[in-house]
Structure formats: C-alpha cells, structure tokens
C-alpha cells in the first residue's frame, strides 16, 4: 500500500480506500470478506455514507477490534427516514442519525457535510445551524476533522472558501472533468456522456484542484470509474473503455487528491482494484484514451510524465503543477508554493531547451516556455 498526506489534516491515508455503498443490503459474510480483504491490503480509509442502521452495524462488526487501524469518513446529513435514503438539514433528524453513527463507531475521523451540490444545499448548510453542529462535534472530539462531499466544482469552491473544511470528497474521472460546470454529473449517469460536450478539462474543475492544492484541502475520490461506465465497452464515452489502473492513476494524478474510494462489494473486486500496485507506467497510462480525438487537451498539462526523462533531471510535471497553482493569482503566490518549488532538486531554470520533452508530450504543452516562466514566477529571490 502507498499512503499520502490528506491535505492539512495531518493524517496519512491509503491511496486506495474502500467505499461501502454497494455493501448495503448484502449478507454479513459478504460484508466481512470484503472488509477483511481491504484490511489485508492495509487500507486505512473507509467511507460510510449510508444511513441505514444494519449496514453500519455490519461494517463495524466486520472491523471488530481493528477500529484503530482504519479511519472512518462519515456523513452529517445522510438520513434514512422511512427506510428511504435522503438528505436532511433538519437538525433533530441530522443529530439522530449522526449520533447513531457515533454509537456504532465510537468516533468519526472525517465528519462530512453531506451533499453540497446546489446553492440551496450550500445555504442549508452554511446559513443555518448545520455547520455549527459540525463545529460542535469537532470541539467535543466526536469528529476529528470537518469535510464535505460534492459533485459540483462551483459549490465545492464556495464551500472551501468558507474556511471551515479541511478536506472533501469529490467525483473525479476524465469524463466528469471534461463536462462543463453547467452540466450536472448525475444527469449523465443514465443517458451517458455526450461527447459533444467534451472540450478538454473544464476550467472550474481545474481551478478547484489547484485551489485545493493551494489551501491544502485534501481530496478523497468517489466515482473513479464513472459508475462503471468508463470501464464498460458498451457505455464508455471514449473510443475504447479505460482500464481500472488507468482510472485510478488518472484520479491520483489530480492535484490535492490523496485517496480513491472504489465501491467494492466482494473480496474479488478488492483484489482486482489492488492489482493497480502491480502495474507499471505503461498499464497506468491514460493519455491514449484522452487524446483519442473526441476532445481537446492541447496545451494543458495533465501531469502524466510522458515528457520524462529530462536530461537535466527536472520533475517537469511537478514544476507545471506548481506553476498552474501559482497562476491562479500571480500577485499573491503563497510562500508555501514558492517553498515547494525551492525544495525541488532541479528547477525550471535548469532547462537546456533540448525539446525532447515537447516531442514526447501527447498534448502539445509548451514545456520549455513553462520552465522559463516557472523560474520567473516561482523563483526564490
């Protein structure tokens, strides 16, 4: 297993965790075999969004005395009124379901403000006592960190800018990244992804990833496989389906992403997902799919490292990523970003302009120009 820092929480999470949604309504032996398989791979991040009492208790039972080995991502506002999953902002209802989650797991590592996808969702969380309830839970020690979940980049940016969340869960995959912000991802689950919408990475989503890196807001990932459509020959929006390693590697290549949370429902699916660690660069390479002719990434670095090796040993993807973040506001670049650049072993000003990187880049990124710009914008004076 590999581990990454989850933003500014101070916690290191496994880059592959476990989303438990698809374990709901499954028999306990199946739940236990899936949890056991994940923990055997030293997964330490588990999402429990489901508000149903039985599934929560079965997950806790399967974890058993290993509670200190895992971190639970639990959601504030997920309710099960009349056995119907729903979003609630009614504080008595919210409290009832979250206190039951606390009863079952003892404490929650990441208390997630559930489902902030619209302006109404945002107001119902931040303009009421809902957010204050989360702060109260943290003060009491019932939750260790405050996060939120969203599928909308504009609402995610707005929530992050309140200064309250330390991390959040977001839907990350190439198809979603290429949908314009005006499109709601759930509208495309049943109808499919219209490739006529794809124009390259949506600027708002690119801005969101950079903002998270800038503010040290860690991202945990849902919908890594686009509800299975990206890896399906029948439903993929691309010229051919992506593979599981390609989808995982794409998500883990986004700025600020720390962990993906695939919804495995059998031990076999856990094993298939963990095969990612056995793959090399060739099997993980997603650029052929992205450059298959139905979209335009020209000029945009997707941090795939096809440009390597560099004769000056510059980590070109790292320099491009820091430059992208700095370009959000060149007049107010945080010292942390300049510090990260300063700590690189080899910097942009060491570029010898050989051009080998640009010949290898699938997306025509002006790498030589970027290296020069990085030395000016990020250079430590």
pLDDT tens digits for 131-163?
Answer: 999 999 999 999 999 999 998 999 999 999 999
Tens-digit pLDDT profile for residues 292-321: 645 455 677 777 777 888 999 999 988 988
Q: What is the pLDDT of residue 301?
A: 77
Q: 360 falls in which pLDDT band (50, 70, 90)?
A: confident
Q: What percent of the chain is predicted at pLDDT more than 90?
A: 61
Residue 123 confidence (pLDDT): 96
Q: What is the mean pLDDT of the chain?
A: 89
- Provide, rounded to the nearest whole percent, the portion of the chain with pLDDT above 70: 92
Which residue shows structure tokens 């030589």?
368
Q: Give the burial string for 309-327 (b: 16+ CB within 10 Å, else e).
A: ebebebbbbbbbbbbbbbe
What does the H/E/C string look like for 53-86?
HHHHHHHHHHHHHHHHHCEEEEEECEEEECCEEE
**In the predicted model, is pLDDT for residue 1 greater than 90?**
yes
Q: What pLDDT digit, counting tens, does each position of 30-81 carry?
A: 999 999 999 999 999 999 998 999 999 999 999 999 999 999 999 999 988 7
pLDDT tens profile 171-201: 999 888 877 777 666 666 556 666 666 666 7
Band (pLDDT 50/70/90 cuts) for residue 283 is: very high
pLDDT confidence tier of residue 336, bands split at 50, 70 and 90? confident
pLDDT in the model for residue 105:
98
Instruction: Give the per-residue pLDDT at 233.
Output: 84
What six digits make up the tokens of 86? 């729903």
Helix, strand, coil percentages, rounded to 5, for the chain: 45, 15, 40
Q: Given this model, what pLDDT does residue 164 score?
A: 97
Query: Where in the chain does DSSP place strands (E)?
Result: 3-5, 12-14, 18-19, 45-48, 71-76, 78-81, 84-87, 108-113, 143-150, 167-171, 218-222, 257-260
Res 111: pLDDT: 98
Q: How many CB atoms lie within 10 A of CB 266?
A: 15
User: What is the dihedral angle through the alpha carbons of 326, 156, 181, 206, rounded to the nearest 10 degrees?
Assistant: 20
Name all domains of the chain by residue range, CATH numbers in brackets: 3-290 (3.20.20.100), 316-377 (no CATH)
The model carries a pTM of: 0.81
pLDDT at 271: 97
pLDDT mean over 26-33: 96
Q: What is the pLDDT of residues 228-271, one digit of tens each?
A: 888 888 778 787 889 999 999 999 999 999 999 999 999 999 99
Contact 217, 7 (CB under 8 A): yes
- What is residue 293's predicted lDDT score, i.e. its pLDDT? 46
Spatial separation of the C-alpha atoms in residues 203 and 219, rounded to whole Å: 18
């Amino acid at each position: 297993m590999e581990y990454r820092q989850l933003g500014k929480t101070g916690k290191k999470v496994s880059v592959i965790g476990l989303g438990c949604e698809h374990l709901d309504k499954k028999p306990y032996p199946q739940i236990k075999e899936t949890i056991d398989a994940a923990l055997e791979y030293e997964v330490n991040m588990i999402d429990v969004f489901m508000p149903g009492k039985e599934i929560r208790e079965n997950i806790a039972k399967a974890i058993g005395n290993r509670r200190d080995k895992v971190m639970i991502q639990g959601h504030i506002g997920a309710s099960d009124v009349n056995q119907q999953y729903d979003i609630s902002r009614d504080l008595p209802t919210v409290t009832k379901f979250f206190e039951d989650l606390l009863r079952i797991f003892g404490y929650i590592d990441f208390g997630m403000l559930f489902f902030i996808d619209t302006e109404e969702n945002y107001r119902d969380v931040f303009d009421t006592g809902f957010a204050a309830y989360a702060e109260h839970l943290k003060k009491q020690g019932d939750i260790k960190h405050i996060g939120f979940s969203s599928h909308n980049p504009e609402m995610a940016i707005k929530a992050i800018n309140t200064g309250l969340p330390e991390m959040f869960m977001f839907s990350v995959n190439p198809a979603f990244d290429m949908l314009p912000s005006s499109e709601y991802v759930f509208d495309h689950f049943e109808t499919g992804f219209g490739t006529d919408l794809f124009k390259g990475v949506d600027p708002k989503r690119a801005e969101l990833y950079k903002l998270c890196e800038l503010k040290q807001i860690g991202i945990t990932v849902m919908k890594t496989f686009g509800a299975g459509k990206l890896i399906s020959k029948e439903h993929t929006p691309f010229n051919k389906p992506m593979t599981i390693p390609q989808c995982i590697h794409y998500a883990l290549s986004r700025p600020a992403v720390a962990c993906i949370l695939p919804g495995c429902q059998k031990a076999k699916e856990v094993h298939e997902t963990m095969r990612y660690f056995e793959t090399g660069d060739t099997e993980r390479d997603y650029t052929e799919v992205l450059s298959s002719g139905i979209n335009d990434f020209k000029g945009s670095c997707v941090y795939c490292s096809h440009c390597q090796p560099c004769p000056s040993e510059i980590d070109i993807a790292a320099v491009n990523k820091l430059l992208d973040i700095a370009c959000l506001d060149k007049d107010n670049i945080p010292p942390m970003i300049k510090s990260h650049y300063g700590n690189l072993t080899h910097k942009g000003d060491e570029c010898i302009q050989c051009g080998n990187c640009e010949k290898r880049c699938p997306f025509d990124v002006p790498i030589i120009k970027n290296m020069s710009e990085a030395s000016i914008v990020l250079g430590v004076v």
